[in-house]
Every structure is written in C-alpha cells, then in structure tokens.
Amino acid sequence: MNPGSKCRTCRQPAIIDLPRHNANFCAEHFLELCRRQVIKAIEHWKLLERDDKILVAVSGGKDSLAVWDLLIELGYQADGLYVGLGIGDYSDVSGDYARRFAADRGLKLIEISLRGEYGYDIPTAAKATRRVPCSACGLSKRHLFDKAALDGGYTALVTGHNLDDEAAVLLGNTMRWEIDYLARQLPKLEARDGFPKKVKPLVRLTERETAAWCVVRGIDYLVDECPIAAGNKHLGYKATLNAMEAESSGSKAAFYLNFVERMAPLLAGHLKDDREALRECEQCGSPTSGDVCAFCRLVATASAHERVPVELIMRGRR
C-alpha cells in the first residue's frame, strides 16, 4: 500500500489496500466492508434465518474465530464447537485460543476430544490408514460436526471456509472433473435426514481479509499452520490462484462466485442422485452408502493401532 493512501469512504489514512475492490480502507470502513460481504452472502444465498440455532465449528484459527465474531456481532445466536484432533502441541495451543475467545465473550464452547472419546488421534489415524493425515482428519471432523449439531438441536452448522479455501477446492475438483464434489461445493447445503444445514458465510472474504478482521477487532488467533498439512494439495492450488490473482485482481472471486451462480445450478441433478443412495450406519445410525459408515470404520482401525507421535508424521512428510 502506498504511504499516504486514503480510505475510499472517509478519506482518513488507510490501513489496508484491497486491489480486487480497487480501493483502500481505514479500520472502521474495512470492518464495514467485511460485514457487508457477510450480510450479502447470508441474504443472497439465504444461508441463515434470524431464529436459527447456530453451531460454529471453531479451530482457534482466524477464519473460524472471525465468522463466530461476525455472527454474534450481527445478532445471531451461535455456540462454538471445538474438536481436539490430537495433533501434538498444535492442537493443545489451538484449543487454548478457542477457549479464550469463548470465555472472554461469555460464549458457549462445546468440546470433543478424539483421543478421549474415540480412542485415537489424527497422527495415529494417518499411520493406521496409510493415507495423508488430512484424509482421516476431514472425515473425523465432518462426522463429529454433523453429530454435534444434530445431538445439540442446532439448525445450522457454520464453518469458516473463506474465498481462498473454496476457490482452491474448486480448482482441485475442476482439474479432476469431480462432478459429485463440484455439485456439493455450495455456500449452503440444506438439512436432510442425518445431516444438519451447513453454511459458509465467509465465502465472499479472502483469508487476508479474515486475518485483518481479527487484527482490527483484537482477536487473538493461532497463526501457525497445521504441522502435518504438507500432504494437503490445496496449498498448491492456493499458490496457483494467488499467482493468477496477482496478474489479474478479482479473478479468484470471479472463478468461485461465477461457478456458484452459473455452473452449480447445472449440476443440481447430481446432488439429488447422491442423496437418494444413503441408508443408516449399522453402528452409529449416520447416513452412509454402505453397511458401516466410513467414520466407524476409521475408529475401529485407528483406535486399535499403537499410538503414533505427531513428530513421526511430520518427519514422514518431509
């Protein structure tokens, strides 16, 4: 940002430049822009109702704390859910950030420990399944988020996915033409038997913007990235999209938002086919396409495996 840059709205000194909006903003008007983007997402895609009982999946990072903060600020009733993944110090510290955020604001935080309640952690699950850690981690989180939302009588499950996350997943799915995944990549998935409504109110904000929201609002968040994320292909897709964005600002938002508006409706039929094939897991009752759901199979495999320290997984990934 050039020294002396002025806020587009009030002409006071700017604190952030946002090339895709072709403007700079002071702290107050930057926050206003973020609020407007979230309200626009909520209203345009009908993400939330005023009387929704909301559960926010919280990791202790910038996005999940920002979305929780924004929803409370906008007058929604929202509790938090933190899942302890057992990824060494990273999980211990991330839990502290989530707890501190909730305690400082008098908000309710539900906690689930994978090791304490299901007898495994993510490093052990990665070793036991011989797949990248994010595979077992994503599966565990999806299952436990859905279960906690339904058990707690919540009508909406909110996640902090931002524009960078969604554009990166979209690029990955497009590169492989994963039609079923593409059909589901929406800012809102309606509730259905065994699944809560799932919404992503931050999809109009970039990760730079959610980080800036936290800094301006004085939210203390865990800056460190997950130490075992190296197998996560989305990091490469994010770098590719950032390179394109640097050449042509606004291209990332156009890629994702135009997909949702123009392409996703054409894939709606795939979403329906996918839903019709589900039945109840014999062990936990969750929706599944087989007899026993993928989560119950993961619990059986990972909890029977000798505990694996996170350092082993980190070394293995280098």
Long-range interactions of 264-272: CB distance < 8 A, separation 24+:
264/182, 264/183, 264/185, 264/186, 267/179, 267/182, 267/183, 268/183, 269/183, 270/179, 270/180, 270/182, 270/183, 271/183, 271/184
The answer to the question of residue 229 lying near ligand Q46 (CB under 6 A) is: yes
Nearer to Zn ion, 24 or 64 (CB): 24
Least distance in angstroms from the C-beta of 84 to ligand Q46: 11
User: Residue 35 corresponds to which tokens in the numbers above?
Assistant: 């609020």
Nearer to Zn ion, 126 or 281 (CB): 281
Least distance in angstroms from the C-beta of 217 to Zn ion: 16
Q: What is the DSSP letter of 121?
A: -
Out of 138, 250, 285, 290, the only residue in the binding site for ligand Q46 (CB under 6 A) is 138
Out of 134, 169, 205, 260, the only residue in the binding site for ligand Q46 (CB under 6 A) is 134
Q: Are 46 and 188 in contact (CB under 8 A)?
A: yes
Least distance in angstroms from the C-beta of 122 to ligand Q46: 6
Quote the distance between the C-alpha of residue 251 and its chain's center. Answer: 21
The answer to the question of residue 122 lying near ligand Q46 (CB under 6 A) is: yes
Size of the site for ligand Q46 (CB under 6 A): 9
Nearer to Zn ion, 23 or 171 (CB): 23
Interacting residues with Zn ion (CB under 5 A): 7, 9-10, 26, 29, 281, 283-284, 286, 293, 296
Partner interacting with residue 223 (select from Zn ion, ligand Q46, none; CB below 5-8 Å by kind): none
